[in-house]
């Protein structure tokens, strides 16, 4: 199960629409006027008391959709107060709905953890960079993967652009590439998971590397910092340097107006968060000639070739539409293995036969040297790509009962194959 104690409630806000963050204090006000809540969306820190004041000449209510709070009728110039202690998203509306609007009165309060937001200008440092953490990350050519994910996660983007001060441990591009494209795609398409993953790289406070070293030395050999995902990061001293969980720090003390960035070489995954796996690539089909063995001396006459096939389902009848993981065999006698991926595998010379059997007997094989081969092909007789075949060279001793090297019906043509008239 995924553990996202802080993020779970916050991410729901994205579906409603996270707007510009208001000035934050221990108290916040909402005006009821003109049959509307102003502002309709209010973002506050936990432990903030919100006051609604009705200036309309008609009654309204402030009623939570989940039943958490209900003002009852609020008359003109009356107020209703509620203190939000827990993080989360709290939609509400007017059940009296005295407004003449076609759309019912609706509002939402978004509650974020204390310290996640700042007053205007509070994040401005003496450096005067005029660049937030989000700006710095977006402008770094080696952090494009993290920047792209931040741009997809509206909550994380808002935090890095508006909150602080924060210390952000940013994995470089190679770290995300190591996860694999399908894992990245799965994370990108899951907003809750994405915010949980990104927030696990952010801690409150402005920690330079010297600060981290001091923290580690003060506590022995390691220290623990709480991330915005609600989990902990362990910072430890190893071989004279610092590691963050199991990641090494590659670049240090990159400043921003609302915090500092350290670049690391590994993506940090919070405990309990299960990232989607990359799809296991289909196993490579393979064919092996079991007998006769390479270089064997065999009696002339009837020669049986036995093979072993792996990771391909042999399908009968042949010639039906192609499907991944299925096909059949083409056996060849003294024939070049066809390699044209767009044409049926018919050799220009020598003998061949189409089969779904793991063995085939060539009759009346003459004395002398012979090449025996087998190829895996699609249902439509075209070669598997990449090419999959096996061959052995043998020497036949003695004389066959006939001088003819019998293979298949000489009248079989490409057209016959495509029309499914070949007889294995």
**Secondary structure (3-state) at 91:** strand
The pLDDT assigned to 17 comes to 36
Which backbone phi and psi does 411 adopt, to 5 degrees? -85, -5
Q: Can you read off the two tokens belonging to residue 361?
A: 């007997």
The pLDDT assigned to 282 comes to 58
The pLDDT assigned to 115 comes to 67
The pLDDT assigned to 368 comes to 94
Rounded Cα distance between 366 and 398, Å, is 8
pLDDT tens-place string over residues 272-321: 888 877 545 557 899 999 999 999 999 999 999 999 999 999 998 777 78
The pLDDT assigned to 399 comes to 64
Which residue has 């973002």 as its token pair? 43
Residues near 154 by beta carbon (within 8 Å), at least 6 away in sequence? 14, 18
**Fold (topology level) of 286-418:** Immunoglobulin-like (2.60.40)
Rounded Cα distance between 94 and 65, Å, is 10
Rounded Cα distance between 37 and 42, Å, is 10
The pLDDT assigned to 358 comes to 96
Contact 231, 271 (CB under 8 A): yes
Tens-digit pLDDT profile for the chain (424 aa)? 344 444 444 433 333 333 333 434 478 888 887 778 887 777 788 899 999 998 888 889 999 877 899 999 999 889 999 999 987 767 788 888 544 444 467 777 877 777 665 443 343 333 445 889 999 999 888 899 999 999 888 778 888 888 778 999 999 988 888 888 888 888 888 888 888 899 999 999 999 988 998 888 888 788 999 998 889 999 988 776 788 988 888 888 899 999 999 999 889 988 888 887 754 555 789 999 999 999 999 999 999 999 999 999 999 877 778 888 899 999 999 999 998 878 899 999 999 999 999 999 999 999 999 999 999 999 989 998 888 999 999 999 986 444 444 344 333 444 444 333 333 3
Q: Where on the phi/psi map is residue 84: left (φ > 0), alpha (ψ -120 to 50), or beta?
A: beta
The pLDDT assigned to 129 comes to 59
Residue ranges of the alpha helices (H) in 114-180? 133-138, 144-152, 154-162, 173-177
The pLDDT assigned to 278 comes to 56
- Please tell me if the domain spanning 133-264 has the same topology as the one spanning 286-418: no
pLDDT tens-place string over residues 53-102: 988 888 899 998 778 999 999 998 899 999 999 877 677 888 885 444 44
Decide which of 3.10.20.600, 2.60.40.420, 2.50.20.10, 3.40.50.300 is the CATH code for 22-112. Answer: 2.60.40.420
Residues near 7 by beta carbon (within 8 Å), at least 6 away in sequence? 155, 192, 195, 196, 199, 228, 229, 230
| Centroid of chain to Cα 139 | 24
Rounded Cα distance between 412 and 299, Å, is 29
Q: How far is CA 122 from CA 114, 146, 201, 259, in A?
A: 15, 25, 22, 11
Domain ranges of the chain: 22-112, 133-264, 286-418
Rounded Cα distance between 204 and 227, Å, is 7
Residues near 227 by beta carbon (within 8 Å), at least 6 away in sequence? 199, 200, 201, 202, 203, 233, 270
DSSP tag of 227: B
Contact 171, 268 (CB under 8 A): yes
| pTM greater than the 0.75 cutoff | no
**Fold (topology level) of 133-264:** FAS1 domain (2.30.180)
Q: Outline where DSSP puts E strands in 378-414.
A: 389-397
Rounded Cα distance between 51 and 30, Å, is 6
Element (H, E) at 313: strand 313-314
Residues near 292 by beta carbon (within 8 Å), at least 6 away in sequence? 298, 303, 305, 372, 392, 394
Contact 203, 262 (CB under 8 A): no
Report the first-to-last Cα separation within the chain, whole angstroms.
53
CA angle in degrees (0–180, nearest 5) for 396-401-404: 80
Contact 267, 183 (CB under 8 A): no
């Amino acid at each position: 199960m995924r553990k996202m104690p802080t993020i779970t409630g916050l991410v729901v806000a994205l579906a409603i629409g996270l707007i510009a963050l208001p000035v934050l204090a221990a108290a916040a006000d909402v005006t009821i006027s003109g049959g509307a809540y102003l502002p309709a969306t209010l973002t506050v820190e936990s432990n903030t008391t919100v006051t609604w004041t009705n200036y309309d000449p008609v009654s309204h209510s402030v009623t939570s959709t989940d039943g958490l709070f209900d003002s009852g009728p609020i008359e003109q110039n009356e107020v209703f107060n509620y203190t939000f202690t827990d993080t989360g998203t709290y939609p509400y509306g007017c059940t009296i709905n005295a407004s003449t609007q076609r759309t019912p009165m609706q509002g939402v309060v978004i509650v974020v953890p204390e310290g996640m937001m700042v007053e205007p200008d509070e994040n401005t440092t003496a450096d005067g960079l005029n660049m937030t953490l989000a700006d710095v990350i977006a402008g770094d050519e080696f952090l494009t993967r993290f920047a792209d994910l931040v741009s997809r996660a509206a909550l994380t983007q808002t935090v890095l652009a508006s909150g602080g001060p924060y210390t952000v441990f940013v994995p470089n591009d190679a770290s995300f590439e190591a996860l694999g494209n399908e894992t990245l795609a799965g994370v990108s398409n899951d907003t809750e998971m994405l915010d949980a993953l990104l927030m696990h790289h952010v801690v409150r406070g402005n920690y330079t590397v010297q600060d981290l070293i001091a923290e580690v030395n003060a506590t022995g050999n390691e220290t623990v910092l709480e991330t915005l995902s609600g989990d902990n990061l362990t910072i430890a001293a190893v071989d004279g340097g610092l590691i963050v969980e199991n990641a090494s720090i590659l670049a240090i003390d990159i400043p921003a107006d609302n915090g500092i960035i350290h670049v690391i070489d590994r993506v940090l995954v919070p405990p309990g968060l299960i990232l989607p796996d990359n799809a296991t690539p289909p196993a490579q089909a393979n064919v092996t000639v079991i007998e006769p063995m390479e270089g064997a001396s065999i009696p002339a006459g009837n020669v049986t070739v036995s093979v072993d096939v792996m990771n391909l389902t042999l399908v009968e009848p042949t010639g039906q539409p192609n499907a991944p993981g299925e096909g059949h065999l083409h056996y060849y006698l003294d024939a070049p293995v066809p390699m044209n991926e767009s044409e049926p595998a018919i050799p220009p010379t020598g003998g061949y036969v189409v089969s779904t059997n793991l063995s085939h007997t060539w009759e009346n094989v003459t004395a002398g040297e012979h090449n025996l081969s087998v190829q895996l092909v699609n249902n439509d007789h075209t070669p598997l790509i990449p090419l999959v075949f096996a061959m052995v060279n043998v020497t036949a001793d003695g004389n066959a009962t006939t001088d003819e090297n019998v293979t298949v019906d000489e009248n079989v043509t490409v057209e016959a194959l495509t029309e499914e008239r070949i007889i294995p």
